[in-house]
Every structure is written in C-alpha cells, then in structure tokens.
Amino acid sequence: MHENIELPDLVVLSGVGFRHKGANQDDVVRDFSLTIRRGEFLCILGPSGCGKTTVLNLLAGFEKPTTGSITISGAPLRGPGAERGVVFQGEASLYHWLTARENVELGLRIAGESKEKRRKIAGDNLQLVGLQGQEQKYPSELSGGMKQRVNLARVLAGRAEILLMDEPFGQLDAQTRVLLQDELTQIWVKTQRTVFFVTHDIAEAVSLADRIVVMRRGPASNVKQIIDCDLPRPRNRGDPAFGHLYSLVGQSIASEVVDLRRHP
Amino acid sequence: MKTTMSSANDRTWRAPGRVELYSWLAVTVKIGLPIAGGLLLWHWASTFLFSSILFPTPLATLTEAVTMLRSGDILKDAGASLGRIGVGFAIGSAIGVILGLLVGYFELARLAMDPYLQFFRFIPPIAWVSPAIIWFGIGETSKVFIIVYGTVFVVALGTIAGVTSVHRDKIRAALMFGASEWQIFRIVIIPSTVHYSLTGMRLAMGIAFMTVVASEMLGADSGLGYLILSSRLWMATDRIFVGIIVLGLLGLLADRLFSLLINQLAHKYRSYT
C-alpha cells in the first residue's frame, strides 16, 4: 500500500534499555533503537523470551525504560495514552461481565461519551471486524477468533492512532489465524492506522508487514536486522516471492533461536 | 478455550423428556435412599444401642416437632434466630464488601487496616460473647453484633482475594484508554470481585448459623440455641433433637437459596478463565 512513499517518523526509540526492578536482574533489552513510521505495518519478530512483549509494554507506557528515550511525534512518551491502543494476547483482557458491545464501548465510556454515541461507534467497529449480530453475546459465548475481533474492535473504537498488537492471533488455530490476518490487512488499509505487531510466526510476519524487525535472542536483546517486505497485497502464501522472503527472514532468525544442544 | 465453551454450554443443556423422567427418578433414589437409610440407622441406634430417653427415636422427634409446631414454640424460636442471622449477616456483608474493596485496592487503606484485619480474623466470634453481653445486655444487639463480627472478616477476605486476582491485562486495558484510578475501581475492580464477595458471603452464612446458636446459649431468652440449652434442664431430649434438626434444615435451605440467587442474578460476573 505504502510502497515508494516516504512515510514520516512517528515513534522513535533511541538507546532504550529495560530491566525489571530488583537485584540480580538482567537487562531484557539494551540499546534498542528503532523508528516506526506513520501508517506503516511493522512486525517485530524474535525467538520466545527475547523481549518483544517488553518493547510493546514500553511503547504502551505500561513500563518505563531504564535507559534511553521514546518519543511520539517528537514528544517524550509518558505513561499510557489514548493515541496508543493495545490488542492483548487473549481473552483475559476482555471484561467477562460485559457484552461484546459493552466491551468495545470501554474506551468511549472512560472518555465520558454519551450513550448514543458509544452505541453507534461500537456498532460500526463491531461491523468492521465482522461481528454484526454478535453484539449482545458475552465473551464466554464467543469463539477464540471472535474474542480477538472484540479485542481489535475495542482498540479501533477508542480511535487509537497506533495499534500495538501483542501476538493477538497466537492462541488461535491455523485456519482462523490466516483468516484474521487477511481481515486485519483489509482493516488496516481501510482505517490507515500505524501497526506495531509482535509475533514469533515467520509466515504471519511476511503476510502482514511492510517491514519486519528481527530481534536478537535475549537477554540484552535489540534489533538484529530490518527486512523490507514489499510484496503487493493481498499476499499469496504460494507466491515464489513470498517463499523467498520467508526463507530470508527464517535464516535471520534461525541463528537467534537458542539451540539447547549447543547452549545447555 | 475449548473447555470454556463446553462448560458454558453444559449449563444451558437440557435433557429431552424421557431422559428427564429417568433423571428425576435417579435424583429421588440418590437423595431418598441415603435419607431413608439414615433414619433407619437412627431408629436402630436409639432403640437398641442407647436408651430412648437419652436418644429419642425419629418418630418421637417427629411427634414432638408436630406438637411444637402446633403450640408455635418452634416458630417463635426459629424466627428469633433467623431474624438475628438476617440482620447480622446483611450488616456484616455490607461492611465486609466495603472493607475488602478498600483494603484490596487502595494502598493507604491496606496499610492502615490490614494489620487489624489479620489480627481480628483469628479471634473467633464466640470469644466476643462475654464482652458483648456486658456492653449490650442479653437483648438483640449483642447477638447481632457477634454475627456481624463473624461475617465481616470472611466476606472481606473473599473480596480482597477478588481484587488481587483481577488479571493485569484487564487493568491495563482501562489504563490505555486513560482511566483514572477511581474509574478503574468502578469499571474493573468492583465487577471483578462480585463473585468472590458472594462466595465469601456463602461461607459467612454458615458461620452466622453457628455463631447465633453459641450466642443464644450463653445468654438469651429465645432462639434455637436457647431452645436446645433450656431443654437440657428438663431432659427433653426430643425437643433438643427438634431444635438441632430445624437448625440443619434452615441452614441447608438458606445455603441453597443463596446459591440459587447467585446463579440467577450474578452468574455473568463469574469468570471461566
């Protein structure tokens, strides 16, 4: 979508380091620098435990960097903010006592919007993620894929400019995952948001991203390589170009996966 | 996630007609047989094992129950106990929920009140009977006070467990939309703890039944505890048995009613994850 267009910088992480509080804690990330451009779809890929989710939590403002700085549109990042919305990993983040619609209304309710307006916006966004007719259902009555649609609709309704997605499809079965990847691409094209998408699934990253950021294995992880992913959309997994990119990314990440035979 | 779905479905699943008839029969057998067996054993024990004067037969107990029902004695005493339980349980639950929410969520409240909570919860309600009678006399106030005391801590601790078990992502979801601490308390914490508070209340109900009897035995002129104690003076073991059985039946009924209410009114607050 955005090929050959210069996109302005939106989020800049420079020399970011983070370690959990307490004695004898290793740095989770160290000297992590990355620029996120406005409107791009960025996938961050790395072996499990490398600190992908930590970087997302830092961007969300749930955690504070120990060193370095993060700026958004030039201003330093301070805590969570409505311009950044997190699509969480699973259903634990949804409110099980609220219906799908009431869950999607959450951001608007906190912002003090009127009931009619909330209802309207929530309805529009539920439709956007393909949940029309499911508004009155509780999360326990929805399938795993539907729950993640609610999670996405909640953030879209909150009008966040940047979507921070933390392995949102990681707990879904393979077919549903591919379906949601395709729908997410369409929604992203339609809504023109910036997406920061954490995954450990190479095919998912190649299907979705404009750029793929490969992280080193932890601790003290940071960016190993950024791979441009300029395949035309909609992307076809059977396409030879897809396969070429897949193996390129795969090689980059393979050397970062901890080999227990060599690193007991 | 799969198990979540199937357990949600199981609750609404209904057996077709024939199976339902069979299940009714099964339930009758399941409940009826043990009760019949228990009554037989009781009858055997009181006839052959002990003297019937010390240990009345089921039939003698039933006869006495009918007499007491006719004279209104049992209704008066059961009513007195239930009234005390009702008032004490309601007040104690309200205080327990508020205390639990405050201590569970607000740092300052926790620092101020948690030591007291941890200390007083180890003092059984019955220990307060003596001071309560000195302070409030043998009237209603002392009984209600002791039941309130017995209820508060169980409900408060249940509620605190609810607050601490709220999933981090639920709070973060509200935080990312810019929720204030008060909004998080109202929108996330309170609904998350409803089911925990209710479970605490269900436990507290049992404690209220135990407490009321003890307090009535140590100083009262009405109630099931008073009935059981005063009947001892007349060696009226059949009246004692009526009192004990009525206590058990009322407790069972109250518990069933309460869990039915929870399932009907508050089942959406229950988490299946």
Tens digit of pLDDT for each residue in B172-217?
Answer: 999 999 999 999 999 999 999 999 999 999 999 999 999 999 888 8
Instruction: Output the DSSP codes for chain B.
Output: -HHHHHHHHHHH----HHHHHHHHHHHHHHHHHHHHHHHHHHHHIIIIIS-TTTS--HHHHHHHHHHHHHHTHHHHHHHHHHHHHHHHHHHHHHHHHHHHHHHHH-HHHHHHHHHHHHHHTTS-GGGGHHHHHHHHTTSHHHHHHHHHHHHHHHHHHHHHHHHHTS-HHHHHHHHHTT--HHHHIIIIIHHHHHHHHHHHHHHHHHHHHHHHHHHHHHS-SSSHHHHHHHHHHTT-HHHHHHHHHHHHHHHHHHHHHHHHHHHHHSGGG----
Chain A residue numbers touching B167 (CB-CB < 8 A) = 92-93
Chain A CB within 8 Å of residue B194 CB = yes
Residue B1 is nearest to which of A109, A144, A154, comparing CB atoms?
A: A144
Domains of chain A: 1-79+194-264 (3.40.50.300)
What b/e readout covers B152-181, taking b as 16+ CB neighbours within 10 angstroms? bbbbbbbbbbbbeebbebbbbbbbbbbbee
B135-140 contact pairs (CB < 8 A, 24+): B138/B219, B138/B220, B138/B221, B140/B83, B140/B84, B140/B87
Residue A157's DSSP bridge partners are none
Write the pLDDT tens digit of every residue in B232-251: 888 888 899 999 999 999 99
Q: What is the mean pLDDT of each run of 10 residues along chain A (264 residues)?
A: 64 92 86 93 89 93 94 91 91 94 95 93 93 93 93 92 93 91 93 93 94 88 89 89 93 76 54
pLDDT at B199: 93
pLDDT at B7: 44
User: Do residues A228 and A211 touch, judged by C-beta distance below 8 A?
Assistant: yes
CA distance B180 to chain A (A): 8
Chain A residue numbers touching B188 (CB-CB < 8 A) = 95
Rg of chain B on CA atoms, in Å: 23
Q: In this model, does residue B4 exceed pLDDT 50? A: no
User: Do residues B81 and B224 touch, judged by C-beta distance below 8 A?
Assistant: yes
* Position B8 confidence tier, pLDDT thresholds 50, 70, 90: very low
Q: Where are the domains of chain B?
A: 1-49, 56-269
CA distance B23 to chain A (A): 27
| Residue in the structure block whose two tokens are 């008073």 | B226
pLDDT at A80: 92
CA distance B258 to chain A (A): 20
Q: Which residue of A has its CA nearest to B1?
A: A144
pLDDT at B9: 45
Chain B CB within 8 Å of residue A254 CB = no
Residue A93 is nearest to which of B8, B169, B187, comparing CB atoms?
A: B169
CB spacing of B177 vs A158 below 8 angstroms? yes
A:B CB pairs within 8 Å: 81
Chain B CB within 8 Å of residue A170 CB = no
- What's this model's pTM, rounded to 2 decimal places? 0.82
Q: In this model, does residue B52 exceed pLDDT 80? A: no
CB spacing of B172 vs A80 below 8 angstroms? yes
Interface of A with B in 90-109 (CB under 8 A): 91-98, 106-107, 109
CB spacing of A80 vs B8 below 8 angstroms? no
Q: What percent of chain B has pLDDT over 90?
A: 59
A79, burial (CB in 10 Å: exposed 0-12, middle 13-18, buried 19+)? exposed
Please give the CATH superfamily to which domain B56-269 belongs: MetI-like (1.10.3720.10)
pLDDT at B1: 37
Chain A residue numbers touching B267 (CB-CB < 8 A) = none
Chain B CB within 8 Å of residue A78 CB = no
Residue of higher predicted confidence among B156 and A50? B156
pLDDT at B264: 84
CA distance B164 to chain A (A): 15
CB spacing of B269 vs A97 below 8 angstroms? yes
Chain A CB within 8 Å of residue B272 CB = yes
